[in-house]
A and B are shown apart, each in its own frame.
Chain A
Amino acid sequence: MSHLPILPILLPFFAGIAIALGGRRHPARARLLGEIAVLAGFAVALMLVIRADQGGQQVYALGNWPAPFGIVLILDRLSALMVVLTSVLALGAVCYARGRSPQRLTSFHTLFQFQLMGLNGAFLTGDLFNLFVFFEVLLIASYGLLVIEGGAQRVRAGLHYVLVNLAGSSLFLIALGIVYGTAGTLNLADLIHKVPLLPADRQPLIAAAGLLLLVVFGLKAALAPLYLWLPATYAAAPAPVAALFAVMTKVGAYALLRVHAVLFAPGSLPYGGLVQYWLLAAALVSLILGSVGVLASPTLPRLVAYLVVVSLGTMMVSVAIGSPEAVAASLYYMVHSTLVTAALFLLADLVASQRGPRGDQLEPGERVHQPTVIGGLFLLLATSVAGLPPFSGFFGKLMIIQASAPSSLAALAWTLILASSLVVVVALSRAGSRLFWKTTDATRPAVPAAPILLLPVLALASASALLVLFGGAAQQFAAAAAEQLLDRSAYVQGVLGELAEERP
C-alpha cells in the first residue's frame, strides 16, 4: 500500500507543529519552513492527480483496518482535484504573505498549515464522522486566521462566523447520529451500499438526516439563506487568508457533491429527489441575493465576497441537476471561480494599499500608483469572473447552461444565471471606473507594489487563462471525475472490495 494519500494531511500537520514549537526563536526559519511545506504539498498534490488519473479508487486504510470497520482515505479524481486546487491557492497566499509580512508571523504560518491539513483531510476522507473531524480542524484554524491581526471589525465578523459554524457543527452531529442509528455505519461507501436496502419505515429518517446535512453543508458552502456570515467574514479577513478562504466554501460544495449527488441521488432512494429540489431552490435564491449584494457592496473585498456567493449559486444549480455533464460543468466552474475570486481578494488588498485614505471603498479617490498593471489585472479578472469571453468563466457558464438544458426548470435557471452575470458585469464595471478612472492625483509619493505581491495575482489570473488554453484537457478531466464520482457501484466496489459482495 502506497502512503502517498496520507501525505497531504501529515505534511502540514508536522510542519505546523514544528513552526509552532520553533517559531518564537527563529521566526525567519519558521516562515521558510512553512513555505517549503506548501511547495512540497503542491508537489504531492500533483503526484496525487497523476495517480488518481490512472482510474479507480485508491484506498488508504488508516492503521490497516479494512473498510468499513476502520477509517479510510479515498483518493479519486475529484479529491485529487480539490487537493491540488487547495495547494495552488496556498502557494498564492503564502507568496503574498511573504511580501506583506502579516503580524504574528509564526502564528499565521502555524494556523495556515493546520488549515491546509483540515482542508486536505476533508477532501480525502471516506468516512462521514472523519469528515466532521476535519471540518472542525479547518474551522478552528480559520477562526484563528481570521482574528489573528485583531481589530474590532475582524472580531465582530469572527464572532458571527464562529457562532454560526458551531451551531452548524451541532446539526452535523445530530445528522450523523441519525445516520448511524438507522444505517449502522458512517463509511460513505458502506452507506451507499446499505441505505437503499433499508426497510421502508427507516427511509424517512435517512431523508431527514439528508436534509439536515444539506443545511450543514449549505451553511459551509454559503448557500442562501445561510450565506449571511460570509460577506463580513471574507471582507474582514487579511488578504492572504481571504484568498485561502476562497476554497473553504468549496469544502461545503465538495461535501454536497459527495453526499447528496451520490448517496441521495434522485432515483436511488425513495426520498432521493427531495434533497435536489431544495438544493436547486437554494441555488437560485443565492443567485438573486448574491447579485443584489454585489450591486450594493460599498467596498471591493465585500463585492468579491458576494461574487463568491454568486459563483456558488451558479455552481450549485449544476450540482442540483446532477447529470454527469452537469456535475462535470460544475467542477470546471468551481476550479475557475475559486482561482479567480482568490486572485480578486489579493488584488483588492493591492488596490487598497495604493489608494490612500479611501482604501478599498468603492468611492472616487486617489489614483493607484500602477494603473496599467493593477487596472489591467482587474479588467482581466473581472471579465473572467463575470463570465465574458474569452476567459474561463465564459466556458464554465456555457457548460453549466448546456448541461442544464434537459432540466424542467431550465428556463428559470438560464434566466437567473444570465441575469446574475449581467448584474455582475454592471457592478464590476461601476467598481472599476470608480477605482481607476474617477481619480484625483496621488498626494503621496508613488510606491509601486513589490513584484512578490503582484506575482501571485498574476499567477492565479493566468491559471484562468490556462483553463481556456488547455480547456479540452480540463474538460476531459472534469468529465472523468464526474463520471467516477457518480458511479455508485464502482465506488462501493473500489472501497469495500469483496466485502460488498459477501454481505446481503
Chain B
Amino acid sequence: MKPAPFTYHDPRTVSEAVGMLASLDNARVLAGGQSLMPMMNFRYVMPDHLIDINKIGELAYLRFEGAALHIGAMTRQRELEFSAEIGTRCPLLHEALAHIGHRQTRNRGTIGGSLCHLDPSAELVNVTALLGGTLHAASQRGTRDIAFAEFAAAYMTTSLAPDELLAGVTLPLPDRRHGYAFVEFARRHGDFAIVACSALLGLDRNGDIKEAALAISGLGHAPVRPALIERALVGQKPGGAEFKAAAAEAAKFEATADAYVTSVYRQHLARVLTFRALEQAARRAAEQAHG
C-alpha cells in the first residue's frame, strides 16, 4: 500500500501555498496527514501535487481575544489538549479532545485538517458547529470568512473553492457560567463516534434555562443544530421530563445508514446522548451557579 507518485511542494508562507493551489491541477493539501496519508497509501486518492503546509509557521497560532478563541489551521490537536487556558476558558474543547483518536494521531493531527476533512462525526467539527465558529479561507483573491453552517456543504465536502486554503477558525467562547457537555458513543476508545452530542446550557437566576445549544453529529453529513429543540428548552426547568422530551425530538432527525450501522440505531443514540448531554450540562450549570 504505497502512495502513487506525486510532485512534492513545501511552501513556507500562505501566499506561496495559495499560489500553488491556484496553478496546480489535481493538488491536495497535506496537513497532519492522519486522514490524507491513509487515503494515499490505499490509493483512494492520487494527487499529482502534494502541498505540504506543515512548514507554514503563520498558520499555527492560538489566541484568546475578548470573547473569542482564534486558532490557526495548522495548530496541532496536541497543543489544544495541553493548553491550560483552553482548560479554563473552554473546557468543552478539552472534553471533546479526549475522544479524538490516540496520542499519536493528536501529535500530528491539526484542527484545520479535521475541519477540512469534515468527517460527519469528528469532534472538532461538532464543537465548531455548537459554538457557531467562523472559518477563515485564504486564496490569491484574498480572505473570506465562512460561517460554519455554510462551510459544511455535503458529505465530507467543504464549501472551500479549489484554490482556497483554510487558514484558521474563530470560536466564540461560551459563557463561563454555562454548563457544557460533550458525549459520544464509539465502539472503542479513540474510534470515530457513531453519534456525538454536545450541549451548552445557560441558566437564569431562577435556575431556568435561558440559553440552550446542541450539536448532534453522526446523523447527516454535518452536525445538526436542532433549532426547534433548542428553542423549546428555553424557559424550561432543567430536569428529566424536559430533557426526555428534547431527546425524543432528537431521535426524529433523518439519519444515514451504512454497512455497519443502521439509521434506526443512530437515531436511538441521538436520543440517548442528547439526554445524557443535557443532564451533564445541567449538572455543570448548577455547579457553576452554586460553586
Partners in one complex: no
Binding site for B on A (CB under 8 A): none
| Chain B positions near chain A (C-beta within 8 angstroms) | none
